Amino acid sequence: MNYVIRWSFYLLFFLVPLIFTSINSELFEFNKMMLTYSLTIIIVAAWLIKMVLTQKIIYRRTFLEIPLLLYFFSHLLSTIFSIDPHTSIWGYYSRFHEGLLATISYILLYFAAVSNLDKNDVKNIFYSSFAAGIIVAIWGILEHFGMSISCLVFTGKFDVACWIQDVKNRVYATLGQPNWMAAYLDILILIALSFKNKISLLSVPFFAALLFTKSRSGILGLIFGGAIFFAILFIKERAKIFTNKFLIISVILILFSSFIFSSPFTQTTSKTQSLEPSPYIDIGISQSSDIRKIVWEGAVKVWQRYPLFGSGVETFAFAYYKDRPVAHNMVSEWDFLYNKAHNEYLNLLATTGSVGFLAYLGVILTFVIWSIYNLQFTIFNKFPIALFTAWISILVTNFFGFSVVIIGLYFFLIPAFCAILKDD
């Protein structure tokens, strides 16, 4: 059973970023969620069988046990009092991510990991992650130069004509959206930099692909996580930081890539559209930052309407239009269906209320405090520090967007991996 559990985790982090199909209306997230459910069932079943065969309870308590259980119960209560319990259980129809079943799945994976895996398994999981990541990076880089592997598979033509979106301008490879791909690459870049061998060099193609997503949130996440990573390294190792030749080479190549291709902050943006009410709707493209401010305002109003348990897990699409600000009618996306607040924190505040939001903050603060307290332990050289800072990058990218399946896996399982490394 250990073999089944171990390899299911390896496959989880290798296949989830890669899997997508054209046979259903949602090519990416739905399929990734279904694969996660399938592998969760296999892992939990193998865990239960292992306990039956050994005739003992196999369960390891960790620092995050109570915060995660409180998080689960907050979602359970939000689902019970939801304006649409069916959606709250399964998740919003286009993705099925972050519904109650998804939350249960992630929490089960956390407890299965800490109870059955060891430090070598954690190392192998990230080898599996890097293998998937380099495929995603190459896929995205090729898209930037007008050659989509997706189109080759779907139509037999090695171009980007099969996509309605301008995938050449903003790549997303197998992740489905540029910002989701950027958040994923942030994690891999920071973790790759922690290795004292050639694996560190993988951060370079990861970063090149990140630039081609043109994701501002992705760049901000990397800057924030990277600043903390190098600050901790400097405090702990001081001059030793300059003895890692692969780290130095990787950083130089990353900076060179940024200079050659430029970051999203140096590229020309579309003209800002006035958000003042007017007798007509401008046909220009409104800036995403302006639209987000309007949606965030609406999210706060939803919370004010349902302050305790929110409108219900994953019901933002239904609740938002009761409190949609008038200014939303004056932007280019006036007719878009917003099923997320485009801010994970406000989205949770609106849909799970104060109870769910505080439970979520409890998970975050517990792991942050635990990590700061345990920064003295070092396994795989800089590995635990990189895991922590990669997790911090998720908090940043989630502020400007929302979690998807692969980010949800890292959000819940990076703390599990750190607990395993600490115990070993």
pLDDT of res. 71: 98
Per the structure block, which two tokens stand in for 310?
A: 């929110």
Q: How far is CA 254 from CA 78, 189, 231, in A?
A: 44, 10, 18
Structure-token match 């989701």, residue found: 180
Mean pLDDT by 10 residues, the chain (424 residues): 95 96 87 96 97 94 96 98 96 90 98 96 96 97 94 91 90 94 97 90 96 94 94 76 81 88 59 41 66 91 96 95 87 83 95 98 96 67 88 96 95 96 80
pLDDT of res. 272: 40
Helix (H) or strand (E) holding 122: helix 119-144
DSSP 276: S
Phi/psi at 67 (5° precision): -55, -40
Q: Is the pTM of this model over 0.75?
A: yes
pLDDT of res. 24: 83
Q: How far is CA 123 from CA 233, 391, 398, in A?
A: 20, 16, 26
Per the structure block, which two tokens stand in for 182?
A: 């950027």
- DSSP state string for 55-71: TS------TTHHHHHHH
Q: Residue 287's closest CA among 333, 325, 347, 220?
A: 333
Residues 6+ away with beta carbon under 8 Å from 150: 20, 139, 162, 163, 173, 174
The answer to whether 4 touches 42, Cβ cutoff 8 Å, is: yes
Q: Where are the domains of the chain?
A: 120-269+343-423
Q: What ranges in 158-202 are assigned the alpha helix state H?
A: 178-192
Q: Provide Rg for the chain, Cα atoms.
A: 22
Q: How far is CA 133 from CA 136, 189, 306, in A?
A: 5, 10, 40
Per the structure block, which two tokens stand in for 424?
A: 């070993």
- DSSP state string for 73-103: HHHHHHHHT-SSHHHHHH--TTT--SSHHHH
Residues 6+ away with beta carbon under 8 Å from 19: 31, 32, 35, 174
> What is the rounded distance in angstroms from the CA atom of residue 399 to the CA atom of residue 402?
7
Kindly provide the b/e burial profile for residues 133-157, where b requires at least 16 CB atoms within 10 angstroms of the residue's own CB: bbbbbebbbbbbeebbbbbeeeeee
> What is the rounded distance in angstroms from the CA atom of residue 397 to the CA atom of residue 300?
20
Per the structure block, which two tokens stand in for 82?
A: 């939801």
